[in-house]
Amino acid sequence: MPRARSHITYAEQTAAAGQEQGSGCLSGFMIPPLAVLLVSCLLVAFVFRLPAPTPISGMKNTASVPASGLAPFFRPEVQHWGDSIQRWAAASSLDPNLVAVIMQIESCGDPRARSRSGAMGLFQVMPFHFTVTDNPYDPDTNALRGLAYMARSLQAANGDAHLALAGYNGGLGVIARAEWTWPAETLRYVQYGAPIYESALRGETQSAALDEWYAKYGVSLCQQASENQ
């Protein structure tokens, strides 16, 4: 905070000038020039004063949340479906980021994906979930059938996303079983899916679990998705 400046009035200067020269350390004729010099220095300091430094409150992460509202760490091939994910999630009463987790692991956003077991489309839905008139590779149809099953799984798991992911991959029957009895594929599915979703819930801009999944399993899958979008 700047301190208040003292002012030497004209009357004070006149009185000081009439004093005897030996009455103080400074002679009377030196006081007015000194006062002018003091005022001038203060004016210069005021005009050219440096701005106060801005406090450093810590580094901020500049990664922005996409317009879709999905966590920014999802792969671009999944972000491609952002608006549709929001619509599908609302229709099935699911969290959009949970829907994005399923798409990320299942197909990385490839609408033409097909597994060795016969699962199809964006959410890798098994054939017996479709009706005879369904097109399994139509994104809206695939989302309708796949996310209806996820909603059932979440309900069976009493809202526990960890267990619901296991039910989506391994069937609703695994939800009531001890984890050590789950198939290896289901354990791996939850190993990656649960922490990815937790990172999204915490508002994080990076997911170590997703990065590891991508490096081990997702490179070719996401490349294929990019080609088919």
Residue 70 domain flag:
no
How many helices (DSSP H) and strands (DSSP E) are in the chain? 10, 0
Same domain for 107 and 214, yes or no, is yes
Using one digit for the tens of pLDDT, what is the confidence trace for 77-96?
999 999 999 999 999 999 99
Same domain, 20 and 119: no
Q: Is 62 domain-assigned?
A: no
Please report whether residue 124 resides in a domain.
yes
Average pLDDT for 103-132: 97
| 106 and 154 share one domain | yes
The residue written with tokens 């008139």 in the block is 133
Q: Are residues 206 and 162 in the same domain?
A: yes
24 with 89, same domain: the answer is no
Greatest Cα pair distance in the chain: 117
Is residue 23 domain-shared with residue 105, that is, in the same domain?
no
Residue 220 lies in a domain: yes
**In a shared domain, residues 179 and 121:** yes
Query: What confidence tens digit (pLDDT) does each residue in 165-196 have?
Result: 999 999 999 999 999 999 999 999 999 999 99
pLDDT band at 66 (very low <50, low <70, confident <90, very high): confident
Burial code of 190-224, b = ≥16 C-beta within 10 A, e = fewer? Answer: bebbbbbbebbeeebeebebbeebbeeebeebbeb
Q: Which residues contact 5 (CB under 8 A, 6 or more apart)?
A: 42
Catalytic hit among 12, 20, 77, 106? 106
- Number of domains making up the chain: 2
Distance of alpha carbon 202 from alpha carbon 192, whole angstroms: 16
Q: Give residue-wise pLDDT tens across range 48-61.
A: 343 333 333 232 33
CA–CA gap between residue 160 and residue 175 (Å, rounded): 10
Backbone angles phi, psi at 166, to 5 degrees: -65, -40
113 class by beta-carbon count within 10 Å (0-12 exposed, 13-18 middle, 19+ buried): buried
How large a percentage of the chain has pLDDT more than 70? 72
Note the pLDDT of residue 75. 98
Question: Looking at residue 65, what is its pLDDT?
Answer: 67
**Average pLDDT for 61-90:** 87
* Domain presence at residue 68: no
Based on the residue annotation, tell me whether 77 is a catalytic residue of this protein: no
Residue 174 lies in a domain: yes
State the alpha helices, DSSP H only, in 53-207: 76-79, 82-92, 96-106, 139-156, 161-170, 184-201
Whether residue 93 sits in one domain with residue 42: no
**Is residue 111 domain-shared with residue 159, that is, in the same domain?**
yes
pLDDT computed for residue 64 by the predictor: 59
In a domain, 65, yes or no: no
Q: What is the mean pLDDT of the chain?
A: 80
CATH at 146: 1.10.530.10
- Tell me the residue range of the domain where 19 lies: 10-47
Backbone angles phi, psi at 135, to 5 degrees: -105, 105
CA distance 86 to 14: 82
Same domain, 17 and 105: no
94 and 35 assigned to the same domain: no
Q: What is the pLDDT of residue 185?
A: 97
- Which pLDDT score is estimated for 55? 34
Q: Are residues 152 and 43 in the same domain?
A: no
57 within a domain of the structure (yes/no): no
